[in-house]
Amino acid sequence: MLHRLTISELTARLARREVSARDAMQACLDQVARVDGDIKAFISHNPADALAQADAADKSIAAGADFSAQPLLGVPIALKDVLAVKDQPLNCCSKILGSFVSPYDATVVTRLKAAGAVIFGRLNMDEFAMGSSTENSAFQTTRNPWDTSRIPGGSSGGSAAAVAADECIASLGSDTGGSIRQPAALCGVVGMKPTYGRVSRYGLVAFASSLDQIGPFTKDVRDAATVLEVISGHDPRDATSIPQPVPRYTQALTGDIRGLRLGLPKEFMVGGLDPEVKRAVDAAVTHLQSLGATVQEVSLPHTDHDVAVYYIIATAEASANLARFDGVRYGARVEGADPLEMYGNTRGAGFGAEVKRRIILGTYVLSSGYYDAYYLRAQKVRTLIRQDYLRAFEQVDAIVTPTTPTPAFRLGEKSGDPLQMYLSDIFTIGCNLAGIPGLSLPCGFASNAERGTGNAKLPIGLQLLGKPFGEETLLRLAHAYEQSTPWHREKPSLHAS
Ligand code: GLN
């Protein structure tokens, strides 16, 4: 049962030498073998390499390693297929990268390794992180562990499902418009997007560079604080990473949230919000009040424009970032009579439909004549959106919202309708546009009446948004809420489909 433990539970047992890192790694590998045929969170993993890393961790533990210096020693952690790990395949779940193998470690990977983590497995995602359901992967479709007829969310669907199904102890994902928080909410785990600049993106394949951040998926809030502390910090190799000291995030978990001021944005109580989601979020707000927080309404008047602004800025940046996949520098190539034809053949065959849609949209909004009408205007509205948040944070310490408008939807339900898919991100996108930190944690369940082979209930996520570099406040609030509610202890019962 070691695969079911949290980081803090596992490291406590490792430190007392009650269990070995090899046993913990083996338990996760066994769980992958048992359930991943149904869940399909992993694209690939290398059991022999994972066990060798675990053995190395056991050696350090036997030699008296210091867990305060290496807080992830012996902990099995899996990564979204968008993060570079030296000598491992890196595909972004796209065909265009072919048999590309990463020549170096991402900075977050260097930091995880220094903290003693056992890094195993590549996790499924929407191709180049474009999507909200993981159905845009070129490789496979991940299923929600609570109901395998439903999506796990996206784009980091593999990262969320793997943690929810106890196939790893924690994972990393990336969040450009909600790709950590939305799948975390739909799979019933904790997911956190740090402040823009908090975590280095060196070695993260870029989607939209002014929005992308890396963050953790964990089974509880304490673990999120532990992983965040490890991966945060300035990195000269990412010019957007901010040279600000990293707090001891785990020390923020005091349990005391008395006097913290919470804001409820009136613009978020929109039509289309599922009544069970609304009920759970209202109850969570009442609960936070009972713990001593105060609640007031705030206004984010430009919220209406979030989705439009995001899909202009994100596609514009994606069209530029993805220009590098040309058949010359990385991965796959489809030959042609001349270089131009070769580029076209390679990109035509290598990119999936959603990625092509975004490149075309992005190229259009950047093209001469349309740049001012779309891109420049979107940048201006983005500034207004950020100002709305900063103004709200003059009155409150954190903003509370649902993470998603509905619980997990069915496979195929929105994949034919890009606009419906884009609208499933309405509550998460503002956070990226504003560059602020956001966290999603479980806050209850919706009934799953037509459950088929699934569980009778589906997880609901509560989103907490904070000031720039306000991660400690978010973690403190989330921890106090979690520790006084039962949700995070619930596990899906995994049925074979
Ligand atoms: N669902 C959003 C999109 O499709 C967000 C993706 C992300 O955060 N990577 O762009």
Mutate to test the pocket of ligand 1, among 92, 123, 126, 128 (most ligand atoms within 8 A of CB): 126
Q: How far is the CA of 155 from the centre of ligand 1 (A)?
A: 6
Ligand 1 touching residue 173 (CB < 6 A): no
Q: Is the pLDDT of residue 40 over 90?
A: yes
Q: Which of ligand 1's atoms lies nearest the C-alpha of 425? A: 1
Q: How far is the CA of 7 from the centre of ligand 1 (A)?
A: 28
Q: What are the structural domains, with CATH classification, of the chain?
A: 2-301+383-489 (3.90.1300.10)
Ligand 1 touching residue 129 (CB < 6 A): yes
Please state the rounded mean pLDDT for residues 234-258: 97
Q: What is the pLDDT of residue 455?
A: 85
pLDDT tens-digit series, residues 277-319: 999 999 999 999 999 999 999 999 999 999 999 999 999 999 9
Query: For ligand 1, atom 4, which residue shows the shortest CA distance?
Result: 131
pLDDT tens-digit series, residues 71-120: 999 999 999 999 999 999 999 999 999 999 999 999 999 999 999 999 99
pLDDT tens-digit series, residues 381-412: 999 999 999 999 999 999 999 999 999 999 99
Ligand 1 touching residue 314 (CB < 6 A): yes
pLDDT tens-digit series, residues 207-245: 999 999 999 999 999 999 999 999 999 999 999 999 999
Ligand 1 touching residue 176 (CB < 6 A): yes
Give the residue numbers marked as catalytic: 80, 155, 179
Give the whole-number percent of the chain exceeding pLDDT 90: 93
Q: How far is the CA of 355 from the centre of ligand 1 (A)?
A: 11
Q: How far is the CA of 373 from the centre of ligand 1 (A)?
A: 23
Query: For ligand 1, atom 10, which residue shows the shortest CA distance?
Result: 130
Query: Side by side, which strands form the sheet with 213-218?
Result: 42-44, 118-123, 76-80, 170-175, 213-218, 190-193, 438-447, 457-466, 398-402, 261-265, 294-298
Q: What is the pLDDT of residue 497?
A: 39
Predicted structure pTM score = 0.97
Q: Is the pLDDT of residue 451 over 80?
A: no
Ligand 1 touching residue 175 (CB < 6 A): yes
pLDDT band at 453; cut points 50, 70, 90: low
Q: What is the pLDDT of residue 418?
A: 87
pLDDT band at 450; cut points 50, 70, 90: confident
Q: How far is the CA of 156 from the centre of ligand 1 (A)?
A: 9
pLDDT band at 452; cut points 50, 70, 90: low
pLDDT tens-digit series, residues 454-472: 788 999 999 999 999 999 9
Q: What is the pLDDT of residue 449?
A: 79
- Cα dist from 239 to 83, 210, 234, whole Å: 18, 12, 9
Mutate to test the pocket of ligand 1, among 83, 159, 176, 357 (most ligand atoms within 8 A of CB): 176
Q: Which of ligand 1's atoms lies nearest the C-alpha of 211? A: 8
Q: Which of ligand 1's atoms lies nearest the C-alpha of 310? A: 10
Q: What is the pLDDT of residue 496?
A: 44
Q: How far is the CA of 334 from the centre of ligand 1 (A)?
A: 28
